[in-house]
Amino acid sequence: MDEQLDDVIVQAIVEVALEGPGELRMRDVARMQGRVVDVHTWHGLLHLDHQLHGAVRLFARRKTHECVLISGQLLEDFFQIRHAPYCMMPERMSAFPEHIRVKLSSEAAGAISLSPVVVRDIPAHEFIECILPQSGKRIDRIQEILLRGSMVSGASRFRWAGWQASQSDIAGLLAQFPDPEPWRPFDQKLCVHAALCGPTARIELPREAASRKGFLRRTSFWDTLMRVAAAASPAYQEYSYKDRGDVYRAALSIEAASTLRREASRLTFSTLTRQIQSAALNAMELHLPR
């Protein structure tokens, strides 16, 4: 009888140690590579199994589902890898492809209207030329756009599989494009486009449109415009990758602006005539292709 009672008591003590670590003021410590993993029973979930063991306890048995708390260093490493900013991630460069597959769609499509998507394989040189009006020759800006995989140019949206391009690859492509040359003098014979500017106006004037002569007229509005431009001594501004040419700018005096408004009647397009005559003009931009 005593032996049977001893077996029951010993078995119960073993069960308690296994099912509820810590109840007998014991703690299990598992070690692996010097890292401690603590088992805390107060984070467990208790369920009653309705099996009464009256010889030892007067209460229902209690099953404990143990939880393992991972060391704080491991959590810190996890979040550094999982949620680190891009600048902290390893840099993975890819070679610049000879052709980039681009999906083109209209940016004018509304929330309801559908816009067709055209897929094109664009040569690398042409692709960079589409980016240059937004980025200039800033390599860091070009890298950002290439990695983003999306860009709006004019009325079109470009989408592609973004990648991290190396600075050397981008620099090699940029070497094929012109740089600004502030020492270049303005030559009115080479001018192909002008824009009359004001506080609230910008009137575009292609040479082809502004150089047309009306009936029985010997000179055109373009002739007057170039004469005023030469007198204003235009200053070099920049190289426009969008227009593929050098841009010059000149301020317009009150007298020069009055001359342009008066001579606007020489234009064969009545809409341009009304715009120039009603605008407050104070400057002009002149574009020379290169």
Residue keyed to tokens 């397009």: 269
- Residue 274, φ and ψ in degrees, nearest 5: -65, -40
The mean pLDDT of 166-184, rounded to a whole number, is 95
Query: Is 82 part of a structural domain of the chain?
Result: no
Nearest to 154 by CA among 237, 242, 241, 239: 242
In a domain, 238, yes or no: yes
Instruction: Report the pLDDT value the prediction gives residue 111, as an integer from 0 to 100.
Output: 54
Same domain, 200 and 278: yes
pLDDT in tens, 158-167: 999 999 999 9
Does the residue 182 lie in any domain?
A: no
Output the six-digit token pair for 110.
């509304």
* Region of poorest pLDDT, from 2-16, 147-161, 199-213: 2-16
19 and 48: one domain?
yes
At 253, the pLDDT band (50, 70, 90 cuts) reads very high
Domain assignment of residue 183, yes or no: no
What distance in Å separates the CA atoms of residue 194 and residue 287, rounded to the nearest whole number? Answer: 6
Q: Among the listed ranges 33-37, 99-103, 167-171, which one has the minimum average pLDDT value?
A: 33-37
Q: What is the chain's mean pLDDT, rounded?
A: 78
Residue 65's pLDDT band (boundaries 50, 70, 90)?
A: very low
Domain enclosing residue 65, as ranges: 2-77
278 and 196 both lie in a single domain: yes
In a domain, 255, yes or no: yes
Domain-terminating residue out of 120, 142, 174: 174
Domain match, 160 and 197 both:
no
User: pLDDT, tens digit, for every residue of 96-130?
Assistant: 999 999 999 887 655 555 668 899 999 999 999 99
Domain-embedded: residue 94: no
What's the mean pLDDT in 144-159?
A: 93
Q: How confident is the model at residue 90 (pLDDT cuts 50, 70, 90)?
A: very low
The owner of tokens 């592609």 is 160
How far is the C-alpha of 29 from the C-alpha of 38, rounded, in Å? 6
Q: In terms of Cα–Cα distance, which of 279, 148, 263, 120 is closest to 201?
A: 279
In terms of domains, do 131 and 223 share one? Answer: no
User: 174 or 76: whose pLDDT is higher?
Assistant: 174
Q: Which of 174, 207, 225 is the last residue of a domain?
A: 174
- Is residue 93 pLDDT above 80, yes or no? no
Residue 39 lies in a domain: yes
> Which pLDDT score, from 0 to 100, does residue 63 have?
45
**Count of domains for the chain:** 3
Is residue 147 located within the same domain as residue 193? no
As a whole number, mean pLDDT of residues 196-221 equals: 92
Position 74 scores a pLDDT of: 44
pTM above 0.85, yes or no: no
- Does residue 144 sit in the same domain as residue 211? no
Of 174, 197, 232, the last residue of a domain is: 174
272 shares a domain with 224: yes
Q: What percent of the chain has pLDDT over 70?
A: 65
Q: Is residue 87 included in any domain, yes or no? A: no
pLDDT > 70? residue 134: yes
CB 23: neighbour CB atoms within 10 A? 12
Same domain, 192 and 284: yes
pLDDT for position 62? 44
283 plus 202 within the same structural domain: yes
Residues 226 and 257 in one domain: yes
pLDDT, mean of residues 89-95? 59
Structure tokens at 254: 């009150």
Q: How many whole angstroms separate alpha carbon 94 and alpha carbon 96?
A: 6
- The DSSP symbol for 70 reads P
Instruction: Return the percentage of the chain with pLDDT > 90, whole number.
Output: 59
Residues 283/250, Cβ–Cβ less than 8 Å: yes
Per-residue pLDDT, 256: 96
Mean pLDDT of 240-248: 96
Residues 213 and 275 in one domain: yes
Please name the amino acid found at residue 185. P
Q: What is the pLDDT at residue 34?
A: 44
Lowest mean pLDDT, pick from 83-92, 229-238, 255-264: 83-92
Give the DSSP letter of residue 184: P
